[in-house]
Amino acid sequence: MNRAVRRGLFVVLTIAVGLLAAFDGSRAANPVAGPAALEGRNEAVNRLAGLNEQERALVAELLDWDVRIEAARQEHERLTGEIPVVRQALADSEAGLQVTREQLRAGRDRLGQWVNFLYRYGPVAYLEVILSAVDFNDFVARAESVKTIIIGQVRLLEEVRDLQRHQEEQAETLRQAQAGLTAKITALSQKLVEMDRDRAGREAFLADLRQQSTGLADEVLQSETVLYQSITSLRYLLSHLNSLPWNSLSPEKFSLSGRGLRIEFADQEINKVFFGQDDPNLASLSVRSSSGLFAISGRAEAAGTDFRMEGAFVLDGDGKVRFQPARVLLAGLPVTSEVLKYIASEQSLSVDLGDRTRGYRLTDIRSEEGKLIVELYQPSLPPGP
């Protein structure tokens, strides 16, 4: 069983080495990248962040413009649709008013003719009724009767006049409504023109910002690529992984469960064995594990800044293991996604461990707080000594 554990330990160490070796530094020769280049990069990153923030704000503003313009256009369409309705109602009201006016005029004429005719030529003319009175009291009574009849006829005309007055008020209300709608539509049309013009101006400003951002992003991409390639300590580590004292690593803890083997390596042990051996090229490096994250930190002396590479270990099938970078920080600022893709696209990030497992199959490799966890599985137990 001790031999099996030793084999598992050897396999784990080999896997850890292979994953780190993915960053083999086999690309172009290290360019010169001093503090001035780093300062320029940091300044460009900050400017780019500011432009991106402005761009996000402008995009949100343009979306707000779109909402307001669309609302104004819908209101314009609604008001425009009301105009024919009000116009038709006004036409109907004016037509009814004209009929009422004609009725009132005709009624007045008929009343005058009727009163005059009856007064003079009726079967019992009003004048005869009044003049045939036997005394003054009878005269007054007869005159009141004639007055009552005439007032009744006039009251009918007053009702027609009231109807005319009501129709005139209704027509005036409709005229005011039509004028108000027309004024609103005119003002809204002008507002839409102004809103479209203002939005076009902000859109042009956004296009200019994006053009600036594109140029600045290219500048950041180039500078970060140069800076990444100038991290000699990391590149030295990646090019000398096979000469590191892997067999000197001691597991902090291991456990067996059937044919499964779980091994834990503490960060302190990895840092002491790998980077504490008086090699000046590795002296500034260290690793730190946290839940789901494995980080390599160090000092880029040429650029005069600290760096940190974070990622996770993933199984790639057929005995292959891949280190998947999630973030790289230079001077505390993350590199762009393009540079991260450039790093992650290197084929060396995938390591074939199929011929190194010595009968074990790697089932998992992950980071937890302060330690690297490796899990192996032995399909068949080895023969005894």
Is residue 169 in some structural domain?
Answer: yes
Note every long-range contact of 36-44, with CB atoms under 8 Å and residues 24 or more positions apart, other chains counting: 37/223, 37/226, 37/227, 37/303, 38/227, 38/303, 38/304, 38/305, 38/330, 38/331, 40/223, 41/220, 41/223, 41/224, 41/227, 41/330, 42/331, 42/333, 44/216, 44/219, 44/220, 44/223
Q: How far apart are CA 271 and CA 231, in angstroms?
A: 19
Same domain, 66 and 186: yes
DSSP letter for 27, please. Answer: S
Tokens of 295: 């980080």
Distance of CA 239 to the CA centre of its chain: 44
Is residue 54 in some structural domain?
Answer: no
Q: Domain residues for 137?
A: 59-222
Q: Return the closest-CA partner of residue 298 out of 308, 310, 290.
A: 308
Same domain, 214 and 244: no
Same domain, 235 and 296: yes
Longest distance between any two alpha carbons in the chain, whole Å: 162
Q: How far apart are CA 228 and CA 37, in angstroms?
A: 12
Answer with the one of 222, 243, 271 that is the final residue of a domain: 222
Q: How far apart are CA 221 and CA 327, in angstroms?
A: 15
Is residue 12 in some structural domain?
Answer: yes
Is residue 39 in some structural domain?
Answer: no
Q: Are 327 and 348 in contact (CB under 8 A)?
A: no
Provide CB contacts within 8 A for 161, sequence distance 6+: 104
Sign of the CA dihedral with 239 first, then 244, 246, and 250 last: negative
Is residue 142 in some structural domain?
Answer: yes
pLDDT computed for residue 347 by the predictor: 52
Q: How far apart are CA 123 and CA 134, in angstroms?
A: 20
Same domain, 271 and 346: yes
pLDDT computed for residue 382 by the predictor: 53
CA atoms within 13 A on the CB side of 299: 8
pLDDT computed for residue 196 by the predictor: 92
Per-residue model confidence as pLDDT tens for the chain (385 residues): 444 444 444 444 444 334 333 333 333 344 455 667 777 788 888 888 898 899 999 999 999 999 999 999 898 888 888 888 878 877 887 777 777 777 767 766 666 666 665 555 555 555 666 666 667 777 777 677 667 767 766 776 677 677 777 777 777 887 887 888 888 888 889 999 999 999 999 999 999 988 988 888 888 888 887 777 777 777 677 666 556 665 677 889 988 888 888 889 899 998 998 788 778 888 888 989 999 998 988 887 766 778 898 988 888 877 677 778 899 888 888 888 888 887 777 656 666 656 656 677 888 888 999 998 888 888 875 555 4
Same domain, 111 and 254: no
Same domain, 203 and 73: yes
Same domain, 285 and 335: yes
Answer with the one of 222, 256, 282 that is the final residue of a domain: 222
Same domain, 238 and 192: no
Is residue 43 in some structural domain?
Answer: no
Q: Return the closest-CA partner of residue 115 out of 139, 147, 141.
A: 147
Same domain, 218 and 242: no
DSSP letter for 148, please. Answer: H
Is residue 42 in some structural domain?
Answer: no
Helix (H) / strand (E) element for 314: namely strand 305-317
Is residue 44 in some structural domain?
Answer: no
Q: Are 313 and 366 in contact (CB under 8 A)?
A: yes
Neighbours of 184 (CB within 10 A): 15
Same domain, 94 and 133: yes
Same domain, 148 and 106: yes
Answer with the one of 188, 222, 256 that is the final residue of a domain: 222
DSSP states of 334-345 = EPPHHHHHHHHT
Domain at 203, CATH number: 1.10.287.1490
Same domain, 72 and 217: yes
Backbone angles phi, psi at 295, to 5 degrees: -120, 140
Q: How far apart are CA 143 and CA 225, in angstroms?
A: 118
Q: How far apart are CA 216 and CA 224, in angstroms?
A: 12
As for how many domains the chain has, the answer is: 2
